[in-house]
Each structure stands twice: as structure tokens, then as C-alpha cells.
């Protein structure tokens, strides 16, 4: 048996998410079906984690096993992209790995990026690649709030009711915010995340930056561990899985 890692870029707009569902198109299924046909054997593609409907990836990581060693990885890369590129999916690389490698379990850190367009006009070039917010956001206050998210804590406030993670306790390694010409990028780094955690944190940071909440209220909401107190989650279109670190 041979194991291969696949690095994937995709636009999540027209998909139900990464994971195969009973209804709708998923990124996992699109690639898995095509790989199986090209390799002439049934292939199961396992991702580093789920991304919800509408969420994009700059570099999702996955792996699959096959019975025969692949002799020409470049040829396979070109072949698979020929069939999936027009669907908004690109396989960036296919790498041979040891059988000890696992796309999900071997991951040491995951990096997500959220993009906000804080300006009067809606984006055209980057339509559906960010959250358009007209009201001027207080970036400095947002940065102060981001510091409150750092460290190991119970993130139940930011956890979707459908989340099946064993524990709500996660360690946020870093939250970086940069703003250039009305474009705000918020980068989150942690070993793993709860379902809808990033979007819920962004939604709450937005409330803070709009002065709907002050820092004291923001901190209270985090410590409450009550989902009902969370601000509405940010829309999926602004969220990108940036990188999985092994």
C-alpha cells in the first residue's frame, strides 16, 4: 500500500463543503471520484478537516492510499486538474508519504484567514471572497479583542450546536489582524478548531469593532461559555483555510 498527500486550492461558493454529504456537491467527492477513475481503483480521500459550505481553501491538505505506486506524479497532477479546474478546484501538489502520515491526525497547526472588505463599495474582483461591511470598524479595538482569544480556554461560546468535537477546550496560538486600504485580514492559528469557531469569533470581533460591545462585554461573552450570547457568525464567503502545518 502506498500513501500520498494532496494539497488543494478551491472556491467553496458552489459546494456543500469539503466533506461528502447525502445531497449536493462536495470537494472531497469531486477529487475522490476523479482519482479513482485515473488510478483505476477505489480511492478514499481523507482531509485535514471539514470546511463548511461556502468556505474556501488556499491550501487544504488530504491523503489517500492506493495499491500500486504512482510512477509519474506530474502526469497525474495534470490529468486530475484537467477534469476539476473548471469546477473551481485545483490540486497544487501530490506527494508520496510514509504510511505513518495522516492528513488530520498528523497536523500540528491549522491556519485560517478571514477577509473583511470595510468600505462603501462592494467588491467585484473578489466577489464572494470576503465579508462586505460598510460601517467603519475600529481596528485597534479589534486587535485588543483578539488578544483576549489567545491561549488555552473553553471556546463553547463560539461552538456550533452541531459540533461533534470531544472537547470545547482549544489553544489559540495566534490571532493576527492587518488592515490595508479597507481590506482587513484576520489570521487564526491553532492545532484544531471547533465547528464555526472562526466565523463566530469574527462575528464577535465585528460587534466589538462596531462599538456594539466594549472590551468588558467581549471578555464576558468569551468566559460565559454560552452560545446564545455569541454575536451572529460571520458569513462563510470570507473564510479561507490557509495552511495545515505538519
Measuring CA to CA, which residue among 219, 196, 198, 199 is closest to residue 208? Answer: 219
- Active-site residue, selected from the candidate residues 52, 86, 138, 154: 52
Strand partners, 65: 3
Output the CA torsion 95→101→102→107 (10° steps): -90
pLDDT of residue 66: 96
Active-site residue 52, yes or no?
yes
Query: 37-88: per-residue pLDDT in tens?
Result: 999 999 999 999 989 999 999 999 999 999 999 999 999 999 999 999 999 9
**Residue 70 CB neighbour total at 10 angstroms:** 14
User: Taking the model in full, what pTM does it have?
Assistant: 0.94
pLDDT of residue 20: 93
pLDDT of residue 147: 97
Please, which pLDDT band fits residue 243 given cuts at 50, 70 and 90? Answer: very high
Contact predicate 4/38, CB 8 Å: no
pLDDT of residue 8: 98
Query: 111-166: per-residue pLDDT in tens?
Result: 999 999 999 999 999 999 999 999 999 999 999 999 999 999 999 999 999 998 99
pLDDT of residue 70: 96
Q: What percent of the chain has pLDDT over 90?
A: 98
Per DSSP, 69 falls in state P
Sole residue written with cell 504512482 = 70
Span 208-234, average pLDDT:
97
Contact predicate 169/163, CB 8 Å: no
Per DSSP, 135 falls in state S
Amino acid at each position: 500500500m502506498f500513501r500520498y498527500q494532496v494539497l488543494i486550492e478551491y472556491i467553496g461558493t458552489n459546494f456543500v463543503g469539503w466533506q461528502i454529504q447525502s445531497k449536493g456537491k462536495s470537494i472531497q467527492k469531486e477529487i475522490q471520484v476523479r482519482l479513482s477513475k485515473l488510478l483505476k481503483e477505489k480511492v478514499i480521500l481523507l482531509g485535514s478537516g471539514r470546511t463548511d459550505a461556502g468556505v474556501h481553501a488556499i491550501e487544504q491538505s488530504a491523503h489517500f492510499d492506493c495499491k500500486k505506486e504512482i510512477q509519474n506524479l506530474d502526469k497525474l497532477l495534470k490529468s486530475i486538474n484537467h477534469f476539476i479546474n473548471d469546477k473551481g478546484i485545483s490540486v497544487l501538489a501530490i506527494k508520496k508519504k510514509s504510511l505513518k502520515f495522516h492528513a488530520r491526525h498528523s497536523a500540528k497547526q491549522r491556519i485560517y484567514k478571514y477577509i473583511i472588505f470595510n468600505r462603501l463599495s462592494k467588491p467585484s474582483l473578489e466577489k464572494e471572497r470576503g465579508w462586505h461591511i460598510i460601517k467603519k470598524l475600529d481596528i485597534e479595538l479589534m486587535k485588543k479583542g483578539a488578544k483576549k482569544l489567545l491561549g488555552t480556554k473553553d471556546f463553547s461560546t463560539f461552538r456550533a450546536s452541531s459540533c461533534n468535537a470531544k472537547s470545547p477546550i482549544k489553544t489559540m496560538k495566534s490571532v493576527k489582524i492587518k488592515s490595508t486600504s479597507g481590506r482587513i485580514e484576520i489570521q487564526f492559528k491553532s492545532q484544531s478548531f471547533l465547528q464555526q469557531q472562526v466565523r463566530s469569533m469574527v462575528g464577535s470581533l465585528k460587534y466589538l469593532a462596531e462599538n456594539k460591545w466594549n472590551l468588558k462585554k467581549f471578555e464576558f461573552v468569551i468566559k460565559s461559555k454560552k452560545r446564545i450570547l455569541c454575536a451572529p457568525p460571520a458569513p462563510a464567503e470570507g473564510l479561507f483555510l490557509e495552511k495545515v502545518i505538519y
